[in-house]
Amino acid sequence: MSVIAPNFKLSEFIKSLLDNIFWIILLLVLIGIPAVMMVLFFIEMPVIDGELLTPFLALTWLADPSRILPVIKAFMATDIFRVMAFPGFGFAALLAAGTIFVERKMLAKLQLRVGPFYCGKFEGILQLMGDGLKLISKEIIIPAKADKPIFWAAPVLFVAAAAAFVAFIPVAPGWVVADVEMGLLGVFAVIGFFPIITILSAWSANSKFPFIGGIRALFQMVSFEIPLILSLLGVVMLTGSLNLSQIAASQSSFPWIVFLPVGAIVFFITMLAELERIPFDLPEAESEIVAGWLTELSGMMYGLVQLGTYLKLYAFAALFVVIFLGGWNGPMVVPPFPPELLEGIELGPVVAGPFPGLPLFDQAMLNGTLWFVLKTVAVIFFILLPRGVFPRIRVDMLLNLGWTKLIGLAFVNIFIALGLLYAGVLGPGGLQ
C-alpha cells in the first residue's frame, strides 16, 4: 500500500522558521528585556571590585559573563526569589508536576495499562506538557445561571490558598517563605479556607452535581479537620513550639514518628481525606456524580483547581515530613564546596544569605534540601498508592471514621505525649 507524502516546500519551511525567530526577537526586545530591567531595579545590587553595580551595568553580562554569578546571587537573596522560585511557588509547582506524571505511570503499571507513548519517546514524558497546552487552549464555558463572579474567583482562590499553605513549609535551615512563630496555627487557618472555597464554587455553579459534591466535601473536610489538628498537638507539647522550623530542628537526633506513631498514622489518614484522595474521594466520585464539585469547571479554570490540588498535596506531604520525619535532618552526604563558592555577596554594608554573615549556599543547606525532597517524595508515593489498591468507602463509614475512631486515636496520641513528657523521657532532663 503506497502512502502519498504531503507536499513539502523548503522555502515555506524556512519562511515559517524565520517568522518564528522574528516574533521571538520582537517579544524579547519589547517585553523580555524591560521585564528584566524592572526586576533589577527591585534587587539590591552587589558590589563588584569596590563599585556598586547598577541595573544598567548589570545588562553588560551579555558582553562580560563574569558578572552573571553576582547578579544571580543577588536575585536569589531577595524575597521575590523565595516566593516565586525556591522554596515557594516554583519549587512546589515543579514537584507537583512531577507528582502528576509519576501518579499516571505508577497507576498504569499497577493496573497493567500501557497508556500513550506518543508525547515523548521516554514514558510519554511530554504528555504533561500536552495536557497543559490543551487546558490553556480549551474554551472556558460558564453555566448560564451561575453566579459568575464567585464562579470565576473560586479556582484562583483555591490556588492562592494552596500557595499560602506552601509558604509556611521550611525546606532547609533558614529557607522558608514565611517563618512565623505561630506557623502551625497559620497552617490550620489556611486549611480552614479550603471547605469554604469548595462549597462556594459548588454553590455558584447552580448545578445539582457540583452542589452534591460540594456538600460532601464540606462534611468530609470538617469532620476530618478536628482529628488532623489534634494529631499534631503531641508534637507541639513535646517541642514547646508552634514554629515549623523549630519543630524540624528539634528532630536532629530522632524523628518524632519514633515516639508518636499513633499521631503520624492519624495525621496520614486525615491528610488523605483532606486531599480527597481514594478511599476518601466522595466529593469527586466520578462513577456517582460525574466529577463532583468540579463538574462545571472547564478549560484553565479546571487546570487551576488541579494545580492547587497538587500544590496542596505537596504541602501536606511536606508538613508530614517536617512534623514527624525530621524535616531537613539527615546524614551529611553532600561534599564540601570550594571556598570561593561559599563566599557571601557584598550588598553594601550587609552580606546576603539565609542568615546575616553566612553565605547564600552552604553544605548544610544543600544537604538539608536533598533529605527534605527525598522524604517528601517518599510520603507522596504513599499518598498516591491507595488510589491503585483501595476502593471508595461509603459516606456513612467516612463520617463515622472521622468523628469517632480518629478523634479517639488522636486523644490517645496526646496522652502518650503527656506520659513521655511527665516521665522525663523527653523534654528537660530527657533525651531532648
What pLDDT was estimated at residue 351?
43
- pLDDT tens for each residue of 222-242: 888 889 999 999 999 888 889
Spatial CA neighbour of 388 closest among 314, 313, 281: 281
Span 67-71, average pLDDT: 67
Average pLDDT over residues 147-174: 89
pLDDT band at 263, cuts 50/70/90?
A: very high
Task: Please state, for a pLDDT cut of 90, what percent of the chain lies above it.
Answer: 20
Q: How confident is the model at residue 2 (pLDDT cuts 50, 70, 90)?
A: very low
pLDDT band at 355 (very low <50, low <70, confident <90, very high): very low
pLDDT tens sequence across 392-403: 777 778 888 888
The band of 413, judged by pLDDT with boundaries at 50, 70 and 90, is very high
Q: Is the peptide bond before 155 cis (omega within 30 degrees of 0)?
A: no
Instruction: Tell me how crowded residue 222 is: count the other CB atoms within 10 A of its CB.
Output: 14
CA distance linking residue 393 with residue 401, whole number of Å: 11
Instruction: Over range 362-389, report the average pLDDT.
Output: 88
Per-residue pLDDT at 340: 53
- Looking at residue 349, what is its pLDDT? 43
Where does residue 326 rank: exposed (0-12), middle (13-18), buried (19+ CB within 10 A)? Answer: buried
The contacts of residue 356 (CB under 8 Å, 6+ apart) are 350
The pLDDT, as a whole number, for residue 215 is 79
**Cα 166 versus chain centre, distance:** 6
Task: For residues 262 and 410, give the distance between their C-alpha atoms in angstroms, rounded to a whole number.
Answer: 7
Instruction: Write down the pLDDT at residue 262.
Output: 93
pLDDT score at 7: 65
CB 314 within 8 A of CB 99: yes
